[in-house]
Structure 1
Amino acid sequence: MEQEYIKLIFGLKLKQIRTDKNLSLFGLSKICGLSKSYLNEIEKGKKYPKPDKIILLAEKLDVPYDQMVSLKLDKNLAPIGDLLRSKILKEIPLELFGIKESDLIDIVATAPAKVNAFISTIIEIAQHYSFSRESFFLASLRSYQEANNNYFDDLEQQVLKFAKAYHLNLSKTLTSKDLEEILIEEYGYSINNGELEKYEALENLRSLFVPETKTLLLSADINEPQRAFIYAKEIGYNFLAYTDRLYSFPWIKFDNFDQVLNNFYASYFAGALVIPKTQLVPQLEEVFKTDHFDTKKFLSLINSFNASPESVYQRLTNILPNSFNIQNLFFLRFTHRLGSKKYHLKKELHLSHQHSPRANETNEHYCRRWVSLKVLNDIKMSQKDHEFDIQISEYDGEDNSYIVLSSATKDPFKDNQFRSISIGLLMNKQLSRKVKFLEDANIKIQQVGVTCERCAIKNCKERQNSPIVLDRIAKNKKVESIVEELQAKFKS
């Protein structure tokens, strides 16, 4: 174990033994002859006493020496010991949020019982929701993105620096051929387009990088925009000099949070390279300046880049907060299989605050009035390559309205599987100053909920289940009201 954690565990045990014997720090200082300040530093995990001092403490507290130095904690503090032994504090990206590990250790040492209860609660919630290490890291990454409004100017500048160094004209569409040449000539890559197809189990893998030989294996099923993005991401890893990285896309495993973070940085670099800010902003201004929403103009914007619709929508989450000061937004990606009644929210990002809708892990039914789900049903029927729709969603009971743009496409790697990507913009004064088509009468206004089980909308034809959660809350309130009436009736 880390030496500081060993000191902390000893301090926790000393404090527990002392408090169990109803001794204050002053009292312990009196009976063992050690200063109160020294004992306080031991209990906070800042110092570890020498053997002679441990023998003295064990004698005065009437506790066996072996028990004092053992790393085992009793059941009341065991979860804290498990936490320290797991080294999870080393994996949490505390530095991203300006938190020092020593701050957390001080909190643990100051109120171990309360912290233990908190940790136990978090562990129980994590187990109940099957909260994995991957989920934890991705949640940390989302929080980091949200804290920075998902815009990273240093990466934007690196893209401009790269384009200048390699004489790339960002006013023109970048092709995979342009980027492949740089990978091969500058970074010594070898491109293999056939090997992955030999392994049926790898049908969903788009790329795999082998660092020892700098070989990039690509799926034969990827299209031109996907190939360009993969190349741009590999360039990002190299140009930004990230060696601690993930090697497959999508990833199979990771060893630490730095790999997850570097994967995000390389992906951001790729998005900024194939969808340059200087090209995207003027086109968005054209879409926003008219008093009606021009679908053809928006789809033309998407198609003007050598990128998938999902990449363009994700790029909007970078550009809208920075260039238009539109910071209240959400991004969603749903997947849906033909013949299934389930819709899975696979990716989400919320800027400024936690908007609805949110990922729901309790098997409730997402509102079927969402445009995100509508376009999935549309593309099932039409079998087109791309379905688009726009809607103003008014959330029942939340006094919030969003204008939501959503696109659905087929999943090129899974038969009969579809995905939708959506971006929702909170309708407020700031949005109305930047976007002129909010009053467009052709944009459908829809009252929506979050899940059917929590929705109070009456006579909803799309409802998949009764509002059982709301019914339970109403029942509890009724019981509470009757109890209060009874207490008032019989208290005198």
Structure 2
Amino acid sequence: MEEDYIKLIFGLKLKQIRTEKNLSLFGLSKLSGLSKSYLNEIENGKKYPKPDKIALLSDQLEVPYDQMVSLKLDKNLAPIGELLQSKILKEIPLELFGIKESNLIDIVSNAPAKVNAFISTIIEIAKHYNFSRESFFLASVRSFQEANNNYFDDLEQQVLKFSKAYQVDLSKSPSSKDLEEILVEEYAYKINESELEKFEALGNLRSVFVPKTNTLLFAGGIDEAQRTFIYAKEIAYNFMEISDRLHSFPWIKFERFDQVLNNFYASYFAGALIIPKEKLTLQLESLFEKEIFDKALFLKMLLDYNASPETFYQRLTNILPREFNLKNLFFLRITHKAGSGKYYLNKELHLTHHHSPRANETNEHYCRRWMSLKVIKEISKSNNDHEFDVQISNYPSHKNKYLILSSATKDPFRENQFRSISIGLLMNKQLERKLNFLEDKKITRENVGVTCERCAIKDCEVRKAPAIVLEKREKNRKIESIVDELTAKFQA
């Protein structure tokens, strides 16, 4: 970016000086004798003039030569300068979304004032919401998933290629023993299951990979599904020859965006290996053709794979858009500590558009009518390992309905902690065509809101806070209506 940066800074300064002197490009061309097209390329950061041309412009615009060639920008353009000098343009995964750095430079040079305001706004939002570098990278990966309907055929093909090369039967879910054998025999892995237990401070850390010795350290208490998923991710890194990677699960630090993106690729590969597309598609077709929702069949399907509910629901977000053209859906993971009264939406995915149930940063109370919260409440009161339920949620304020499937489990690494995993499918013509059981009377129907503070449902027995946001909005509407009446009255 250094050469481009120098060109762009000069172009921005020239444009600013020209504008301050009320000169058009045509006028500056007449004044300096330089062609209008040449000046335009300079201002757009595409060309840097030779010293004699800079001297000519300096003389005609009555600006000192040193000021023109200085990389220092005045306060109006300073935020753009800071952005261009920082590493952020290198860290933003522009290529992931088909954007070239040169395109970004064109945008900046063509509307510096607007871009400057935009940058300042982003900085303020980031400060207000404590938006970290990690949050930014995760949001970028999530946007990448959403832009591709969370289906990546190249990764699906890699899984098929792997299964053929290592004779892995994709008609059934592989066991951890199957995958461990490949890691040890093919990639010379060493498995250590005692070292991490010595460190209580590691909390819910489940594994650490030491690349120098190919040693994979496991935490105590890890179950079969988690072990299989971790092994599958390790196979993904090795089979796809990914070296720029994260080394712990869950990950605790990173150095580059590519590491975060490669972690997603490895996770996708793992999910596709453990839950093969062809088998799951056939099972879903069988479920969808029934006139009533077969809960037993769904649970059998979930248990048919050596996977956690989260891995299974994540896999649904790959298969449903691709194989059934059900592209309007969301995925949520909510965590809760018993007795705290607080619920945290710490993982979400929205396909096609941003759906109503989403994370908020305003400390409002999520609607207790959500199935995601109901199953957590159920499991916190029971001794069961897994709670599941289904609901059709109606959002009166948005006029949308969703078919919600939710599972809740205990957190094996945290005492009195619970989590729910949910997938919501927008009720529309396409869903009605694909799912025959939507009229099943046994499926609970419930009016829901996003948060209590924004919910208009009257006499809600589980409301945790008054609808202060709606009340304020209604008050403003009344004031606006009265002002309109007064304006009409005294205009006559």
**1:218-233 alignment to 2 at 5 Å?**
218-233=218-233
Matched residue type, 1:299: L
Aligned to 2:352: 352
Aligned to 2:267: 267
Aligned to 1:80: 80
CA deviations 1:214-258 (Å, max 9, x no partner) are 111111221111011000001001111111111111111222222
Aligned to 1:281: 281
Aligned to 1:450: 450
Q: Quick one: distance in 2 between partners of 1:407 and 1:21?
A: 66
Aligned to 1:142: 142
Q: Secondary structure at the match of 1:131?
A: coil
Q: Quick one: distance in 2 between partners of 1:285 and 1:490?
A: 66
Matched residue type, 1:482: I
Residues 197 and 203 in structure 1, CA contact (< 8 A), matched pair in contact too: no
Q: Quick one: distance in 1 between partners of 2:2 and 2:206?
A: 39
Matched residue type, 2:327: Q
Return the offset for 1:63.
2.2
Aligned to 1:324: 324
Aligned to 1:411: 411
Q: Quick one: distance in 2 between partners of 1:290 and 1:24?
A: 70
Return the offset for 1:117.
1.3
Q: Quick one: distance in 1 between partners of 2:111 and 2:288?
A: 53
Q: Secondary structure at the match of 1:28?
A: helix
Q: Quick one: distance in 1 between partners of 2:50 and 2:128?
A: 43
Aligned to 2:291: 291
Q: What do you get for the CA RMSD once the two structures are aligned?
A: 1.4
Q: Quick one: distance in 2 between partners of 1:490 and 1:371?
A: 53
CA deviations 1:101-155 (Å, max 9, x no partner) are 2112111111111111122222222222222222222222112111211111111
Q: Secondary structure at the match of 1:217?
A: strand
Q: Secondary structure at the match of 2:413?
A: coil
Aligned to 2:307: 307
Q: Secondary structure at the match of 1:418?
A: strand
Unaligned runs of 5+ in 2: none
Return the offset for 1:169.
1.1
Q: Quick one: distance in 2 between partners of 1:219 and 1:51?
A: 65
Aligned to 1:117: 117
CA deviations 1:380-413 (Å, max 9, x no partner) are 1013211111111001211111110100001111
Which segment drifts farther, 73-82 or 362-371? Answer: 73-82
Q: Quick one: distance in 2 between partners of 1:241 and 1:388?
A: 38
Q: Quick one: distance in 2 between partners of 1:139 and 1:146?
A: 10
Aligned to 2:204: 204
Matched residue type, 1:372: S
**1:176-215 alignment to 2 at 5 Å?**
176-215=176-215
Q: Secondary structure at the match of 1:49?
A: coil
Displacement over 4 Å in runs of 4+: none
Q: Quick one: distance in 2 between partners of 1:107 and 1:436?
A: 49
Q: Quick one: distance in 2 between partners of 1:221 and 1:11?
A: 61
Does residue 384 of structure 1 match 2:384? yes
CA deviations 1:48-81 (Å, max 9, x no partner) are 2233333332333222333222222212112111
Q: Quick one: distance in 2 between partners of 1:17 and 1:395?
A: 54
Return the offset for 1:97.
2.0
Aligned to 1:167: 167
Percent of aligned pairs sharing the same letter:
73
Q: Secondary structure at the match of 1:405?
A: strand
Q: Quick one: distance in 1 between partners of 2:5 and 2:265?
A: 32
Q: Quick one: distance in 2 between partners of 1:104 and 1:203?
A: 42
Q: Secondary structure at the match of 1:437?
A: coil
Matched residue type, 1:454: R
Does residue 239 of structure 1 match 2:245? no
Q: Secondary structure at the match of 1:246?
A: coil
CA deviations 1:318-360 (Å, max 9, x no partner) are 1111112211111100000111111100111111111110111
Q: Quick one: distance in 2 between partners of 1:9 and 1:260?
A: 32
Q: Quick one: distance in 2 between partners of 1:125 and 1:191?
A: 44
Kindly tell me the number of residue pairs found equivalent between the two proteins. Answer: 492
Q: Quick one: distance in 2 between partners of 1:268 and 1:209?
A: 19
**1:468-479 alignment to 2 at 5 Å?**
468-479=468-479
Aligned to 1:23: 23
Which segment drifts farther, 293-302 or 126-135? Answer: 126-135
Aligned to 2:462: 462
Does residue 68 of structure 1 match 2:83? no
Aligned to 2:370: 370
Return the offset for 1:184.
1.2
What is the TM-score with the length of structure 2 in the denominator? 0.97
Which segment drifts farther, 97-106 or 458-467? Answer: 97-106
Q: Quick one: distance in 1 between partners of 2:469 and 2:108?
A: 36
Residues 396 and 455 in structure 1, CA contact (< 8 A), matched pair in contact too: no
Q: Quick one: distance in 2 between partners of 1:32 and 1:201?
A: 69
What is the TM-score with the length of structure 1 in the denominator? 0.97
Residues 369 and 448 in structure 2, CA contact (< 8 A), matched pair in contact too: yes
Q: Secondary structure at the match of 1:346?
A: strand
Residues 367 and 450 in structure 2, CA contact (< 8 A), matched pair in contact too: yes
Q: Secondary structure at the match of 1:439?
A: coil
Return the offset for 1:5.
1.4
Matched residue type, 1:156: E
Q: Quick one: distance in 2 between partners of 1:163 and 1:326?
A: 28
Matched residue type, 1:350: H
Does residue 395 of structure 1 match 2:399? no
Residues 173 and 276 in structure 2, CA contact (< 8 A), matched pair in contact too: no
Does residue 58 of structure 1 match 2:62? no
Q: Quick one: distance in 2 between partners of 1:374 and 1:39?
A: 65
